[in-house]
Amino acid sequence: MRFDILTIFPEMFAPFLCYGMIKRARDKGLLTVYVHDLRVFTTDSHRSVDDVPYGGGPGMVMKIEPIHRAVTAICPEGRNKKRILLSPDGRKLNTELARCLASDDSLLLICGRYEGVDERVSLHLVDDEISIGDYILSGGEVPAMVLMEAIVRFIPGALGNRESLAEESFTGKWLEYPQYTRPAEFEGKKVPEVLLSGNHQEIKEWRHRQSLIRTAKRRPDLIDWALLTAKEIGWLAESGVTPHLKPSGKSI
């Protein structure tokens, strides 16, 4: 898979690309990343990428011309590359969206700065806008890195252990069960006995139960309460969580 990044701060990406899963995916030839400096696509002596907003107001707005020049150069006619603007107004990133984007061969990520980007970029130059959450950051670089990490995990072979992807929070229906490692006891705080038992069936059931209880307590919105089994409802009752029973059938 290929990523092109358009940014006024290309240096921010150098360390990000040199560690962990992203580095391994690049080393294995599964991922290629080209980082483009937007200022290279300016034509004035000040290399300006921003200007004052029409209608007044605080801050500066990123101009369309350098972005248009860059997009035209990076995405030549006929080349199939999806163009994504990182934007707090965009579709909110989640596992499904990341998994879906991982099936693209090539993505261009455009990082905004200042008060945002001339609206004509969103209207005419991009295929999609993606937000990483309902908060404002000062630029699209960190959101682009977040998006890239979320997508690359779904490239076959990018993760060291494919099983970990299957069990992680949000990839299944619920949050992941709690994890422990050595020592078995630290300052009187013990690892749950069942995990030391070696009984794989009991461990599996314990994890299933913990995953449900954790999700019910922290993210009840992820649970389809009507689909819980009697056993699962019993586990919740024992742990003091009241199921949010939704009315079944269609609303009129």
Binding footprint of ligand SAM on the chain (CB under 6 A) = 86-89, 111-113, 115-117, 131-133, 135-140, 143
The rounded distance, in Å, linking the Cα atoms of 95 and 155 is 13
Minimum CB distance to ligand SAM, residue 130 (Å): 7
Minimum CB distance to ligand SAM, residue 232 (Å): 35
CB closer to ligand SAM, 142 vs 165 = 142
Minimum CB distance to ligand SAM, residue 10 (Å): 15
Minimum CB distance to ligand SAM, residue 38 (Å): 12
CB closer to ligand SAM, 97 vs 228 = 97
> By beta-carbon distance, which residue lies closest to ligand SAM?
112
CB closer to ligand SAM, 147 vs 212 = 147
Minimum CB distance to ligand SAM, residue 133 (Å): 5
CB closer to ligand SAM, 71 vs 132 = 132
CB closer to ligand SAM, 128 vs 176 = 128
